[in-house]
Amino acid sequence: MAGLWFSHRVSRQGSVLLVTKKTDTESNTNYAQGGIAAAVSSDDSAQLHCEDTLRTGAGIAHPDVVKLVTEAGPGLVRELFSLGVPFNTYADGSGAEHFDLGQEGGHRRRRIVHARDFTGAEIEHGLLRAVRSNRNVTMLEEHFAVDLFLDENGRCCGVFALDKSTGTVELVRARVCLLATGGMGQAWLHTTNPRIATGDGVAMGYRSGARIADMEFVQFHPTSLYGHLLEDRAFLISEAVRGEGAILRTRDGHAFMPEYHQDADLAPRDVVARAIATELRLRGGEYVLLDATHLDPNRLRDRFPNISETCLRLGIDITRQPIPVVPAAHYVCGGIETNDRAETSVPGLFAAGECACSGLHGANRLASNSLLEALVMADRAAERAAGEVRGQESSGERREARMGSRESRVQSSASAADDARVAGLRRRLQSRMWQSAGIVRTDAGLAEARKELVALADEAESLGSSVAGMELRNLLAVSRLVVECALRRPESRGLHYNEDHPKPDDRCQRDTVISRSEFAPSPA
């Protein structure tokens, strides 16, 4: 979403080259179900949305960024609607059209704008339509961005990208670059994220010297479908299902959430994920149940066609049977540190969306605020980038090549024999991260994780440069950043819960920032 919106916007200023490592639709955005949060109803305001976001952020969210994102949201969401994204609406008695708004945990108002439960896919299709018909935007699919290209002054002037069909690495030069590479859920054994979510942008940013912030704050979604994997990802049962009244129960039918939080099933996600982890530890078993059987079956099928049809295909009729669910790694709040114009600490480099840390989420993400962040911060980046390009032109500064020009450089080496080793190392990484840098952490577990990550990185260095090998090295680098940030936070706050320090500590109420000088980056 961040990359597409940026391209759509900045193309008014010049040519844009969009590099994506798979087909144009494969992304985290494609799987977002619940919706995008924006204060668009008459009983709501940006101020209330801002307060809810700050409260959830547990003292670390940046108030200026939260204010600007929540204020810019409604206008940009309406722009998406006018671009043809089919958000659900209804007409009131006078015939006026309003968004049909969902409710999610932590929001004091119904403010989740959605397109049934295909919100992300519908947004993506709408934006793809816009950029495909835009002659200023060229899309390079199946091109893997390997590393950023910096000039002798440390300014980002492009990216090295591997053409997967020829195995050739090309240098793509550009006047400005935006990293919008999404999440890193594939670092954990259980995740809702698709295969592309390997933290490449954060790893590239780190290797090029960008400051990285708040990587310890990882959101584990409480309810992913237990027992079925869809192409390496767990299928998400959106929080909006609980918003409609579904109840979490132990396998013997006990509704446990009221014992953990006053908002019961609509408590913040970290509270729900920890409650499930606790119930599983106390009572044994590998899953709990999400019960929607008391809800109107027609409304359920109509509001959640994706969830009800996918579950039915897998043998679960959600209108008659409770759904077995477990928590899974879902979203990383941290990333490449940016200011409120999406600029990173590397000149010429912008970052937006899940790979960035703008300060919106702080220690915890309010549901449906990530699509909003991707949209607003990509918009801010486009505005600033256009200004920067205009500035370069008016100062007569001439760069060697025009935006988006490409030169072939080196041939990548890949060996099929490496594949099995890559898969094995990736599995070990995922298990370690699940065990030691998951929902509940300890000092000893984190120290153990650091040791194993160093050892795994050593083993991975000898692998050739296949895409899978480079993704593995990126996953190792960003996992290390998660663990290092977690070790630097001897407290529990928001999404970071350390059993050895179970309470927040005022002295830790700040961002955790890491830069390249602190440990050697793994090579791409």
Ligand X SMILES: Cc1cc2nc3c(=O)[nH]c(=O)nc-3n(C[C@H](O)[C@H](O)[C@H](O)COP(=O)(O)OP(=O)(O)OC[C@H]3O[C@@H](n4cnc5c(N)ncnc54)[C@H](O)[C@@H]3O)c2cc1C
Under the rule (CB under 6 A), what is the footprint of ligand X? Answer: 1-3, 19-22, 26-29, 31-36, 119-120, 144-145, 180-183, 192-193, 196, 200, 236, 331, 353-355, 368-371, 374
| Nearest alpha-carbon partner for 144 in 173, 181, 178 | 181
Neighbours of 432 (CB within 10 A): 24
Nearest to 351 by CA among 380, 321, 392, 390: 380
CB of 481 to ligand X, least distance (A): 16
At its nearest, how many Å lie between ligand X and the CB of residue 473? 11
CB of 166 to ligand X, least distance (A): 16
Beta carbons of 217 and 461 less than 8 angstroms apart: no
Selecting among 9, 111, 269, 473, the annotated active-site residue is 269
Q: Which is nearer to ligand X, 113 or 486 (CB)?
A: 113
C-beta of residue 359 within 8 angstroms of C-beta of residue 214: no
Measured from the CB atom, is 311 or 508 closer to ligand X? 311
Min. distance of Cβ 96 from ligand X in angstroms? 26
Residue 28 or 103: the one with the smaller Cβ distance to ligand X is 28
CB 124 to ligand X: min, Å: 8
Q: Dihedral sign, CA of 15, 18, 19, 22?
A: negative
- For the chain, what is the total number of helices (H) and then of strands (E)? 13, 22
Whether the CB-CB separation of 248 and 288 falls below 8 Å is answered with yes
| 206 and 349 Cβ atoms separated by less than 8 Å | no
Integer Cα distance of 426 and 432 in angstroms: 10
Q: Which of residues 68 and 139 has its CB atom nearest to ligand X in the complex?
A: 139
Amino acid at 59: G
Structure tokens that stand for 81 in this block: 């609607």
Unique residue bearing structure tokens 């650091």: 450
Angle, to 10 degrees, between the axis of helix 418-436 and the axis of helix 467-487? 20
Q: Between residues 353 and 404, which has the closer beta carbon with respect to ligand X?
A: 353
Name beta bridge partners: 217. Answer: none
Task: Supply 175's token pair.
Answer: 């006047």
CA distances from 405 to 138, 173, 347 (A): 11, 5, 20
- For residue 261, which phi and psi values (nearest 5 degrees)? -160, 145
- Least distance in angstroms from the C-beta of 394 to ligand X: 31
CB of 334 to ligand X, least distance (A): 13
Residue 17 C-beta: closest distance to ligand X, Å: 11
Q: Which is nearer to ligand X, 336 or 514 (CB)?
A: 336
Parallel, antiparallel, or unpaired for β 335-337 and 356-357?
Answer: parallel
DSSP 52-84: HHHHHTTT-S-HHHHHHHHHHHHHHHHHHHHTT
Nearer to ligand X, 209 or 353 (CB): 353
Q: Given the complex with ligand X, which of 210 and 446 has the nearer CB atom?
A: 210
Name, in order, each residue with C-beta under 8 angstroms of 485's C-beta and a sequence gap of 6 or more. 214, 215, 216, 334, 512, 514
424 contacts: CB under 8 Å, gap ≥ 6: none
Query: Is 269 known to be catalytic?
Result: yes
Residue 204 burial by CB count (10 A; 0-12/13-18/19+): exposed, middle or buried? Answer: buried
Task: Note the Cα 232 to chain centre separation in Å.
Answer: 17
The phi and psi torsions of 91 (rounded to 5 degrees) equal -105, 135
Q: Specify the residue, 225 or 292, whose C-beta has the smaller distance to ligand X.
A: 225
Establish how many alpha carbons lie within 13 A of residue 468's alpha carbon, considering only the half-sphere containing its beta carbon. 15
Query: What ranges in 285-368 are assigned the alpha helix state H?
Result: 297-303, 305-313
Smallest separation (angstroms) from ligand X to the CB of 121: 10
Do strands 212-213 and 513-514 pair parallel, antiparallel, or not at all (unpaired)? antiparallel
CA dist 426 and 479 (Å) reads 11
**CB-nearest residue to ligand X:** 353
* For ligand X, the closer CB: 353 or 494: 353
* Residues annotated as part of the active site: 269
